[in-house]
């Protein structure tokens, strides 16, 4: 029996990232997992990318707590969880266990290098974790109007009578290469689920509110009406490369997708992963997941062909016009617009103005 939060003797504060993981677990977004992992499940996932019953699941889902909390809590206790943005939840503790954070970094991220943002974040956490069944009393509030719950997205899919849905994960503004991937997918699928991650990202990534506004500008001008659903995925970015790309695919299936668009260096950062490692891992497990990968090689603008192309369609790879993510951010924050070959002018103008305003406010 769950008790009301007012009767709890013990309250634990959780981060916004953990609050959203807990919420998404209870919503079924991380199915088949719907609870915080036990020690056995945690070790199995780290070592094999599978739960103990053999079901594929690539990332740990745990509740880190300070050592003082771990020492004071006992299995069978009911605890209240509180967090930012109005989050409130409960956990019925079944187990307290300790992680080896360096071992987790090596197996999940394939590196212990603290220059990797996911590793740096992991190693800043407590190794102590609580496992148990969870209940969300109030999910964190979001400043966006777009659908966030899997049931909301599935209801729209039913409304539009789509049978095939291609999902796209992004943490960046959409540029012309992304648009190319979307529209190729729309040639073979009934609809597109544009599903940006709006949780925590690297400090130099473009803020979620600015990205969401830029998506609306692009969709209103260049995408067919009633063939795109823009929803939000409020989890944190882990930058875990192939494992996280596989996790993103599992989540999108839980939101109703039948296909998953995956490109070069999906969910990666720096040069920690090979450019096609994520594609290969997803293709290896696609049949088991029941999800069709739409895998794309490198895509860019070819001056000679005068259009956006891929390595499969264009022989002039060395001539392509490309910009790195760092170059994009530096250009925008310098108050300059991105080249039309890279970004739609309306999107570029908006991003430039928005980021310039943020920079001016920070200086002032």
Neighbours of 171 (CB within 10 A): 19
The token pair that represents 187 in the structure block = 């040639």
Q: Show contacts of 305-309: CB within 8 Å, 24+ apart.
A: 308/176, 308/177, 308/179, 308/180
Element (H, E) at 94: strand 88-98
171 is an active site residue:
yes
- Cα 88 to its chain centre, rounded Å, is 22
Q: Identify the CA nearest to 74 among candidates 131, 7, 156.
A: 131
Alpha helices in the chain (DSSP H): 16-27, 39-48, 67-72, 101-104, 117-123, 150-160, 176-188, 208-222, 242-254, 277-289, 325-333, 345-363
Which position among 99, 171, 243, 329 bears the catalytic label?
171
DSSP 24-66: HHHHTTTTT--SBPPHHHHHHHHHHSB-TTS-B--S---EE--
In angstroms and rounded to an integer, the radius of gyration of the C-alpha atoms of the chain is 21
Contact 261, 275 (CB under 8 A): no
254 is an active site residue:
no
Which position among 84, 115, 145, 172 bears the catalytic label?
172
Angstrom distance (rounded) from CA 170 to CA 199:
11
CB burial class (10 A; 0-12, 13-18, 19+) of residue 141? exposed
Half-sphere exposure of 179 (CA within 13 A, CB side): 21
Collapsed DSSP state (helix, strand, coil) of residue 132: strand
Evaluate the omega torsion of the peptide bond into residue 32 and state whether it is cis, within 30 degrees of 0.
yes
Collapsed DSSP state (helix, strand, coil) of residue 321: strand
> Interhelix angle for 345-363 vs 325-333, to 10°?
60
Residues labelled catalytic: 171-172
């Amino acid at each position: 029996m769950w008790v009301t939060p007012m009767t709890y003797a013990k309250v634990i504060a959780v981060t916004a990232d953990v609050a959203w993981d807990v919420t998404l677990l209870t919503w079924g977004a991380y199915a088949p997992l719907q609870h915080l992992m036990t020690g056995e499940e945690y070790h199995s996932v780290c070592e094999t990318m599978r739960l103990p019953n053999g079901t594929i699941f690539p990332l740990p889902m745990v509740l880190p707590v300070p050592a003082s909390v771990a020492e004071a809590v006992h299995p069978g206790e009911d605890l209240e969880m509180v967090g930012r943005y109005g989050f409130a939840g409960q956990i019925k503790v079944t187990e307290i266990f300790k992680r080896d954070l360096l071992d987790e970094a090596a197996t999940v991220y394939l590196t212990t290098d603290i220059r990797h943002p996911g590793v740096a974040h992991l190693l800043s956490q407590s190794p102590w974790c609580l496992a148990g069944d969870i209940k969300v009393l109030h999910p964190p509030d979001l400043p966006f109007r777009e659908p966030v719950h899997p049931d909301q997205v599935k209801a729209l899919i039913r409304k539009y009578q789509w049978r095939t849905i291609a999902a796209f994960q992004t943490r960046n503004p959409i540029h012309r290469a992304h648009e190319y991937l979307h529209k190729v997918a729309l040639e073979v699928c009934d609809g597109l689920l544009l599903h940006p991650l709006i949780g925590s990202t690297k400090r130099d990534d473009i803020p979620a509110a600015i990205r969401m506004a830029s998506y609306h500008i692009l969709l209103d001008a260049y995408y067919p009406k009633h063939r795109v659903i823009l929803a939000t995925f409020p989890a944190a970015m882990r930058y875990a490369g192939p494992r996280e790309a596989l996790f993103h695919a599992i989540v999108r299936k839980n939101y109703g997708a039948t296909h998953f668009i995956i490109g070069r260096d999906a969910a990666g950062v720096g040069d920690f992963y090979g450019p096609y490692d994520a594609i290969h891992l997803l293709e290896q497990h696609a049949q088991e997941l029941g999800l069709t990968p739409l895998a794309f090689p490198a895509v860019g603008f070819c001056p000679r062909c005068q259009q956006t192309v891929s390595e499969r369609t264009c022989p002039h790879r060395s001539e392509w016009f490309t910009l790195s993510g760092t170059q994009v951010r530096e250009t925008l924050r310098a108050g300059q617009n991105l080249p039309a070959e890279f970004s739609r002018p309306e999107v570029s103008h908006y991003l430039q103005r928005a980021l310039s305003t943020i920079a001016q406010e920070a200086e002032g």
